[in-house]
Structure 1
Amino acid sequence: MEIFDADATARALPFDALIEQMQALFANGLTAPDRHHHTMQMQDKADATLLLMPAWTEQIGCVKVVTATPGNSARSLPAIAGSVLVFDRATGAHLALIDGAVATARRTAAASALGARYLAREDAKHLLIIGAGKVAAQLTDAFRAVRPIETVRIWDLFPQAAEALAASLRSRGWDAQAVSDLSQAVPQADIISAATLATEPLLMGEWLRPGQHVDLIGAFTPAMREADDHSLQRGRLFVDTKFATIEAGELKTPLETGAIAPSDILGDLYALAQGKATRERRDEITLFKSVGNAVMDLAAAITATRKAEEEPHV
């Protein structure tokens, strides 16, 4: 069984190949079970959570195992740990173990780029990233795989984090700058991608202008929000999968209050990849909301193991 550490996982998941593999799985209609949640009770500390996300084709399968342990903050340890186990479908033999944190960050960014392939204008060059974490750091390369991104601006609740990410991107040749005023930065962007842990909206609909594409990544529980109701009402809405309407506060709460209706959600990655939905006008605002699913993990597993087979062994 091959072991991919963090660096090896990143090298094995180039965005062009990962996006193409993800598109193929969604275009073929591959589905996966919803993720399994298991609460693990802890003594004198917040309960931990075990998440299991399986998916498979006729040839290959994987399961991502994630543990969320809030008490780790007191131990100066990461709260989230994860791995992706890849197995052969015919024999059940374990083929590879992939770093779960890196694989998740890259497949999440790849899913956003796949959505943008159909929903962002083809001349989109200016990217605004809201957030400066692990997923945010992947977004410039992911979006450039599908659109001619030239300018990157970054806003974060902690300005030093935004500047650190901007500096890292500049060291790689990007035109990247941190910004302090989100209300001024939003109208200038062609693509706005939010990857935060916000529980209250950061993006306001009144800031948006015609022709933009909004990509919302961070709100992956019912208690989280990155964009206000007006943002949702101004945009043509799309999701990665229907599960997003249940899992994400971004959609679950507005659907419950009547701010948006189920009919406002016009398609998912299956519809987009199968050519059943797309951007219709240059001046419309499109909004893509993702929460992630195991089909994306499987795309990463296939891409990584295929690339490993192609590379020469010394």
Structure 2
Amino acid sequence: MAATPGINHAPTCVFLDGATVRSILPLRALIPHLRSSLPSLSLSIHTPPRHSHTIDPSSSSTLLLMPSWSSHPSLPFIGVKLVTCFPLNSHLRLPGVQASFLLFSSSTGVPLVSLDATPLTLLRTSAVSALASLHLSRPTSSVLVLAGAGFLAPYLVRAHLFSRPSINRVIIWNRNPDKSRDLVLELRREFDHGVVFDHAEDLDEVVGLGDIVSCATSSMTPLIRGELLKPGAHLDLVGSFSPAMKECDDAAMVRGRVFVDFDVALEEAGELVGAFERGVMAPSDVAGTLVELLGGVKEGRRDEDEVTVFKSVGAAVVDLLAAQLAYQTYIAST
């Protein structure tokens, strides 16, 4: 395989901590990178089914193992991400999802870099939502409603504002109202003009205001009622990654034109798995994947009143591409 510039001269197993990952992987670089590389490279990236192991059933604590490798000469890497999902960490003010990523050379097997993949995961997840929004939300979208105020929430806000700079109001709801209020204050300090940030006590009361409704929770019961979505709304579902989890009801899935990040969502997303089991929709009703949208194989939003739904569960393909960009950016700067 052709060597990527810098690989043969890189120190063995560089460690990139969270602050470094955030500094060399800004959304303004990551979103265009994924937009161009996913259609051209995703078919060459091999991603076996991720291992999911329940650590503590009472708290839904989970360990995930996500391997991937590329057969494309411009992407000579093997990657493995280890992820822990501990939903109760929110009570400790710790991220519910934490991760580490190890990148190897696929020509020599030499470990190249170890990354703090907690920010990498937050960045790539929000970037995927932004890419989907570019194809599925209305270009004139002005109101973002966000369900969830955890560690992913500010990344999703930044990503949606990047993809739709027309957004001028963000409304945040969380089961714990104090967390939504705290996040609003944080975002007001970050965006000192141009966008109004509010918190909501009742999610049902604000869902209908959202041109984009984004959800990043670990909910086991539906939060978004499809009947409340406004005509033309785009629903972005990020939180669930197992059949037991769900962030919206069947009405939202049936009412919307549904896209997924990758086909694995048909087996892992609780919103979809449950709808299939109940017979309210079939896998063939899913309109396409993110790669098909980016590659122009499938048409995105078709009119102003169409309700669209994007369900992502996360995939090692995106992790590998994000790690590639982080590593090569780091090497180029040293």
Per the TM superposition, whether the score is higher than 0.5 is yes
Query: Match for residue 22 of structure 2?
Result: 10
What are the residue-to-residue correspondences of 1:37-186 with 2, within 5 Å? 37=51, 39=53, 49-56=63-70, 57-58=72-73, 59-67=76-84, 80-148=97-165, 149-173=167-191, 174-186=195-207
* TM-score (normalised: structure 2): 0.85
CA positional deviation for 1:74: 11
Paired residue type of 1:15: L
Paired residue type of 1:237: V
- Relative to structure 1, the CA distance from residue 210 to residue 74 in structure 2 (aligned partners, 3 Å threshold; closer, same or farther) is closer
- Relative to structure 1, the CA distance from residue 76 to residue 274 in structure 2 (aligned partners, 3 Å threshold; closer, same or farther) is closer
Mapped to 1, the partners of 2:218 and 2:184 lie a distance apart of: 19
- Relative to structure 1, the CA distance from residue 47 to residue 117 in structure 2 (aligned partners, 3 Å threshold; closer, same or farther) is closer
Mapped to 2, the partners of 1:72 and 1:143 lie a distance apart of: 26
Secondary structure at 1:83 match in 2: strand
Conservation of the 8 A alpha-carbon contact between 2:243 and 2:269: yes
Mapped to 2, the partners of 1:77 and 1:280 lie a distance apart of: 41
CA positional deviation for 1:264: 1.5
1:25-70 deviation per Cα after TM superposition (whole angstroms, max 9, x unaligned): 321143432443164879xx99863523323343233211224579
Query: Match for residue 218 of structure 1?
Result: 239
- Relative to structure 1, the CA distance from residue 72 to residue 233 in structure 2 (aligned partners, 3 Å threshold; closer, same or farther) is closer
Conservation of the 8 A alpha-carbon contact between 1:62 and 1:87: yes
CA positional deviation for 1:125: 2.3
Mapped to 2, the partners of 1:96 and 1:2 lie a distance apart of: 4
Secondary structure at 2:163 match in 1: coil
Report how many aligned residue pairs link the two structures: 310
Query: Match for residue 20 of structure 1?
Result: 32
What are the residue-to-residue correspondences of 1:196-235 with 2, within 5 Å? 196-235=217-256
CA positional deviation for 1:184: 2.1
Query: Match for residue 213 of structure 2?
Result: 192
Conservation of the 8 A alpha-carbon contact between 1:200 and 1:226: yes
CA positional deviation for 1:94: 1.8
Mapped to 2, the partners of 1:192 and 1:143 lie a distance apart of: 10
Conservation of the 8 A alpha-carbon contact between 2:219 and 2:247: yes
- Relative to structure 1, the CA distance from residue 290 to residue 48 in structure 2 (aligned partners, 3 Å threshold; closer, same or farther) is closer
- Relative to structure 1, the CA distance from residue 177 to residue 70 in structure 2 (aligned partners, 3 Å threshold; closer, same or farther) is closer
- Once the two structures are overlaid, the 10-residue window that deviates more, 205-214 or 64-73, is 64-73
Secondary structure at 1:189 match in 2: coil
Structure 1 unmatched runs, 5+:
none
- Relative to structure 1, the CA distance from residue 68 to residue 186 in structure 2 (aligned partners, 3 Å threshold; closer, same or farther) is closer
- Once the two structures are overlaid, the 10-residue window that deviates more, 52-61 or 106-115, is 52-61
Mapped to 2, the partners of 1:77 and 1:208 lie a distance apart of: 32
Mapped to 1, the partners of 2:89 and 2:231 lie a distance apart of: 44
Percent identical residues: 37
Structure 2 unmatched runs, 5+:
1-12
Paired residue type of 2:118: A
- Once the two structures are overlaid, the 10-residue window that deviates more, 49-58 or 193-202, is 49-58
CA positional deviation for 1:139: 0.8
- Relative to structure 1, the CA distance from residue 157 to residue 74 in structure 2 (aligned partners, 3 Å threshold; closer, same or farther) is closer
Secondary structure at 2:266 match in 1: helix
- Relative to structure 1, the CA distance from residue 263 to residue 308 in structure 2 (aligned partners, 3 Å threshold; closer, same or farther) is same
* TM-score (normalised: structure 1): 0.90
Paired residue type of 1:97: S
1:249 matched to 2:265? The reply is no
Mapped to 2, the partners of 1:22 and 1:275 lie a distance apart of: 15
Higher relative contact order (CA 8 A, sep 6+): 1
Secondary structure at 1:197 match in 2: coil
- Once the two structures are overlaid, the 10-residue window that deviates more, 187-196 or 83-92, is 83-92
Mapped to 2, the partners of 1:138 and 1:68 lie a distance apart of: 18
Mapped to 1, the partners of 2:272 and 2:261 lie a distance apart of: 12
CA positional deviation for 1:183: 1.8
